[in-house]
Structure 1
Amino acid sequence: MKKFLKLAAMTAVTLGSAFGPHMAAAQDEMRIGTASLGGAYYPMGQALSNSINEFADGYTMVPIVTGGGAENPRLIASGEVEVAIAPASLSYFAHQGKGPYPDALDIRAIGTLHSSILHMVTLPGSGIESIEDLRGKRLAVGPAGGGTLNILRDLLTLHDMTLDDITPSFVSYSDGFSQLTDGAVDASFALAGFPTGAVIQAQAMNELEFIELSDDKMAELLETFPYYSQTDVPTDVYGTVDPINVIASANLLIASADMSDELAFTIAEAIYDHMDALIAESALAAGIVPENSLTLPIPLHPGAATYFEGRN
């Protein structure tokens, strides 16, 4: 993955850059950091890229597979991608220099995106009905740099557990759910939008069971970690008898503070002025409320702020 990202960065340098080390010049490709295949970040990145390619005159964009939500702020800070998708919680930590980020990263928001939910999935007969039941079990937790791991740590903390109490498997969402159906792990977690391709693929040949928090534990989670929320996944998404009670985490489109105001405005305009086109590319975009971009846990880029203030 690192070699791939470096190759992309070298290509951008070869093409030239009129905006400095973090920027891509007009007529050049920008890179959007997404996550591993099988989740929702990569297809959302494709949809956002299509909006840029169609509506941002002089700019193009390509989605890049990355380690996911936790890694993407670092890739922005290092200049390996120009924009990226990241959970609101991790974006906040990165901006503040907290949690997995020892130093504050100079990132800004371009706007709000869809919310991801934490899929907590096992097989019938596993004996896993709650987070406590994960003690001593094998668990696919997504890539080491992904957002799933951070929310899992919070969940384990809430239940007086740590990663030492489970046997984690750090793999892509697709591989994690393949490991679940093959019996290599006892449960698989994925912080992604819904429906998620990895879950749909696993469900095609296997019956799945979703692990849910009790009402008391959900309330405790939201009080302890206010950057999360609760939502229900409708029955028609995964064919469940009842809606699934899940943890949700908003996602942001982020960029470096060094990005020019003009480019940040152009990106925001190309995406949020054409929501119908974005929704046509990704059903997840139907859940985006552009106006929420004015109340985010990290500062809006000044160029994006100008766009959203003019939009209202």
Structure 2
Amino acid sequence: MSIRRMTAAAVAALALSLSACGSGGGSGGGGETTEDLTLGTGGTSGTYYPLGGELATIFEENVDGVTVNYVESGASAENLGKIYQGEWQLGFTQSDTANNAVKGELEDLDGTKIDNVAWIASMYPEAAHIIVREDSGIESVKDLKGKKVAVGDAGSGTRAISDAILDAAGIAESDYTPEITDFGASTDMLADKQIDATIFVVGTPVAGLTQLAATTDVKLLGLDEKTTSAIEENTGAESYDISTDAYDFLDEDVPTVSVFASLVASTDQVSEDTAYGLTKALFEHTGDVTLDVGKSITKDTAMLGIGEVPMHPGAKKYYDEEGIDLP
């Protein structure tokens, strides 16, 4: 089957996504179940968008009757918001953002709980990349004080982790100039010296950084143990090392933090049978994923980061059949 590719405005924040539904909690967009699915991904320079294209193909070829449109988006929070409104049925999200959403703890939402989103699977770890030019004179996160820093797209999980990193390093928002943009735009701006640094949470390695490093001398800033511990206490992130073999310009591992990229689905519009088929296809055809992150997609790690996000009944059926321990 052919895949219809559509583009969504990547600048929409979750608060705007929910405005049509009000901010007092309650149910989302509702609607009847459908097999014509829209999958919210992320920016085109990150991992979510190309992975969405590959999974859309896998789902269409292996789940009877299903069509999948994968769309560019502002990533985690926007994807959750669109599912809540009933506009999209599937979405990629950072595990910490999903947990905050179902608990009603996302900032600026007045306690709104995203109550129609359920877990399909954790797919791979997403590491925080803190990128600066080699000639910038910036040696640590603390040196970002007074600088212009790209902190992720509006409504993205990256923004939440960026804020946590800077806060843990003792840098208040008034201490730097935030640039709200997606990863692709931020790497162009870094190369052109329009910004001093970019922070992005993404699967490793990410093509956008490899491409940037081919034309611009860059380096990754590591986090010390004190900063990492503070981030872990205030978010769902965990300590993580970006391996030296991830990028040609590295000569040692880079300590940072990581969350988990996960796939979630609407409980209003994705039936148990459809969710079962999607989950089964995801794990039985990971060999068809050409991106490096495909190696990390296994059913044995599918619960990582689930926290308080409810399991979709269709996904649960699959895991029960496979003998996977559920939280």
- Normalising by the residue count of structure 1, what TM-score does the alignment of the two structures yield? 0.88
Partner of 1:56: 63
Question: What CA deviation, in whole Å up to 9, does each residue of 1:9-29 have, x standing for no partner?
Answer: xxxxxxxxxxx726433xxx3
Partner of 2:247: 238
Question: What CA deviation, in whole Å up to 9, does each residue of 1:167-217 have, x standing for no partner?
Answer: 111222111011001000000111111121221111111111111111232
Partner of 1:269: 280
Give the whole-Å Cα distance in 1 for the aligned partners of 2:223 and 2:286: 34
Letter of the 2:247 counterpart: Y
SS of structure 2 residue aligned to 1:75: helix
| Cα 1:162–1:71 shift into 2, 3 Å | farther
CA positional deviation for 1:233 = 2.0
CA positional deviation for 1:152 = 1.1
Partner of 1:94: 101
Partner of 1:42: 49
Partner of 1:8: none
Partner of 1:16: none
| Cα 1:243–1:196 shift into 2, 3 Å | same
- Which structure shows the higher helix fraction? 1
For the Cα contact (< 8 Å) 2:9–2:74, is it kept in 1? no
Partner of 1:142: 152
Q: How does 1:1-312 map to 2 (within 5 A)?
A: 1-2=8-9, 21=31, 23-25=33-35, 29-100=36-107, 101=109, 102-106=111-115, 107-222=117-232, 224-225=233-234, 227-239=236-248, 240-258=250-268, 259-278=270-289, 281-294=290-303, 296-297=306-307, 298-312=309-323
SS of structure 2 residue aligned to 1:192: strand
For the Cα contact (< 8 Å) 2:97–2:157, is it kept in 1? yes
Moved more, 258-267 or 155-164: 155-164
Partner of 2:18: none
| Cα 1:283–1:204 shift into 2, 3 Å | same
For the Cα contact (< 8 Å) 2:90–2:266, is it kept in 1? yes
For the Cα contact (< 8 Å) 2:46–2:206, is it kept in 1? yes
Q: Percent identity?
A: 25
Question: What CA deviation, in whole Å up to 9, does each residue of 1:251-278 have, x standing for no partner?
Answer: 1101122232111111111112222223
For the Cα contact (< 8 Å) 1:39–1:190, is it kept in 2? no
Give the whole-Å Cα distance in 2 for the aligned partners of 1:226 and 1:66: 23
| Cα 1:159–1:235 shift into 2, 3 Å | closer
Letter of the 1:287 counterpart: S
Partner of 1:9: none
For the Cα contact (< 8 Å) 1:86–1:252, is it kept in 2? yes
Give the whole-Å Cα distance in 2 for the aligned partners of 1:74 and 1:234: 33
For the Cα contact (< 8 Å) 2:125–2:261, is it kept in 1? yes
| Cα 1:251–1:195 shift into 2, 3 Å | same
Give the whole-Å Cα distance in 2 for the aligned partners of 1:3 and 1:187: 21
Give the whole-Å Cα distance in 2 for the aligned partners of 1:216 and 1:168: 24
Structure 1 unaligned spans of 5+: 6-19
Give the whole-Å Cα distance in 2 for the aligned partners of 1:185 and 1:285: 32
RMSD across aligned C-alpha pairs, in angstroms? 2.0
Give the whole-Å Cα distance in 2 for the aligned partners of 1:162 and 1:70: 23
CA positional deviation for 1:34 = 0.5
SS of structure 1 residue aligned to 2:251: coil
CA positional deviation for 1:306 = 0.8
Letter of the 1:241 counterpart: D
For the Cα contact (< 8 Å) 2:104–2:112, is it kept in 1? yes
Moved more, 259-268 or 294-303: 294-303
